[in-house]
Structure 1
């Protein structure tokens, strides 16, 4: 069975963020991920992880001005200094939280921008970030995101992401393969799992129902089948990553809403 990590930015909206660690542990999760840790001191988050027996498996590097609509800095010429400061901050948190991987968002394509220049900036920034992360034993991840959820996002396709990882050539630069985004942009998800998991370039998986981004048992993807594919391919190639549950519970912030929707997990009562 795949190892599932609760995404605390989306799951348990019925609780304040700091109370979501306990809720995830009560529901049997052994690991968590979320968008950003930076509103809280590392020691506080580390204490919650330890107190509830949880592993931190993923979070995002600073994305620029999120509230103003920025979605990453990595592809943006002229923002290199800010990008590097953000990577430094992310790696300090990763060390404090025992988190092995950090997701670096590519950013939005500026109007009129030359894509070749953005590509060169992106690859140079990723090479620098991967070198910094390697020095402290961490991985850097990049994620293709569908243009419906984030219009104008620089990176949308799995093949693009894998070409970039190969071009940069850093062994600790990997792809965050979100099956929700993959289905919306490309489809053929099972075959892409069979293609890419054995490559050694996939560092993390994420799931959600398509198209509404609710529980995995709602929508057009047959996750029971896909979990079997993940298990089969992982057994063959030795992939041992986590599967992040990055979806919005159908019952929203109603009391017990997240827990009530967890019947999709293999082995759930």
Structure 2
């Protein structure tokens, strides 16, 4: 079984206009694309680009508040529930048009003086609502723990945090977005976690640690991680959310090596 890789267009092909990155990813052999947000463009326009390139949409985030002002999700923010719900419905409409079955709901930032338990309760309530709306459309909501070094104050940092929310809600269309980069920085033990959590992993992302460049060295052995995913029979997407050292295409030796071996 061969893994399928999605180029994260919020990180890769930065020398090209956003929509042109779709065709570039297809030319380089990616089977899918993902990115932070699609909402600056009509869904039909993105869909046409996907169709023209013969490539699939894998994942994007639900609206996350005012990104430019530092917001990283509204799901745990008091007084923002209506905005959150409107954003989730917009994301589900886009997913219905673009064809992806995974939407990431960001957890938001926890201010220093905020009540963490209360914020987690609100987050859980909002995620449960999102999962219910998504289930009616055949879409899975994914939750991603993010490390505190890259995103200080993020509400969800450990895999167990995400698993606890999923367990408490009990929705079959609620899974973890397992980012190997974030997990290695926060807690490590990637291979064992992949095995232990496998049934609840809905999406995987990769990058080298600590540089967040191509997944071709440093702390993590991605050939081994790919082997683990292959052995587990992982059929989902592997999102390539990393910062190329130079040009994206020039740095794809790791992908060509995997394909040759597979």
TM-score range relative to shorter protein: over 0.9
Report the counterpart of residue 144 of structure 2 in structure 1: 143
Q: Distance in 1 between matches of 2:135 and 2:113?
A: 35
Q: Secondary structure at the match of 1:17?
A: coil
User: Displacement of 1:88 after TM fit?
Assistant: 0.9
Q: Secondary structure at the match of 1:267?
A: helix
Q: Secondary structure at the match of 2:248?
A: helix
1:117-151 CA-to-partner distances (Å, cap 9, x unmatched) read 11110110001000000111111111000000000
Q: Distance in 1 between matches of 2:224 and 2:44?
A: 40
Report the counterpart of residue 254 of structure 1 in structure 2: none
1:223-265 CA-to-partner distances (Å, cap 9, x unmatched) read 011110111122xxxx3111000000001xxxxx101100001
TM value normalised by structure 2:
0.96
TM value normalised by structure 1:
0.94
Q: Check if 1:264 corresponds to 2:254.
A: yes
| The one of 225, 233, 242 aligned to 1:247 | 242
Report the counterpart of residue 39 of structure 1 in structure 2: 40
Q: Check if 1:115 corresponds to 2:107.
A: no
**Which aligned runs of 4 or more in structure 1 are off by greater than 2 angstroms?**
none
Mapping for residues 1-269 of structure 1, pairs under 5 Å = 1-197=2-198, 200-234=199-233, 239-251=234-246, 257-265=247-255, 266-267=258-259
- Name which of structure 1's ranges 259-268 and 204-213 shifts more when overlaid on structure 2: 259-268
User: Displacement of 1:16 after TM fit?
Assistant: 1.2
Aligned length: 258
Q: Which runs of 5+ in 2 are unaligned?
A: none
Q: Distance in 1 between matches of 2:79 and 2:107?
A: 14
User: Displacement of 1:113 after TM fit?
Assistant: 1.0
Q: Distance in 1 between matches of 2:191 and 2:200?
A: 17
Q: Distance in 2 between matches of 1:76 and 1:201?
A: 26
User: Displacement of 1:268 after TM fit?
Assistant: 5.2
Q: Which runs of 5+ in 1 are unaligned?
A: 252-256
Contact 1:262 1:268 in 2 (8 A): no
1:189-234 CA-to-partner distances (Å, cap 9, x unmatched) read 111111111xx21100000000010000032101011110111122
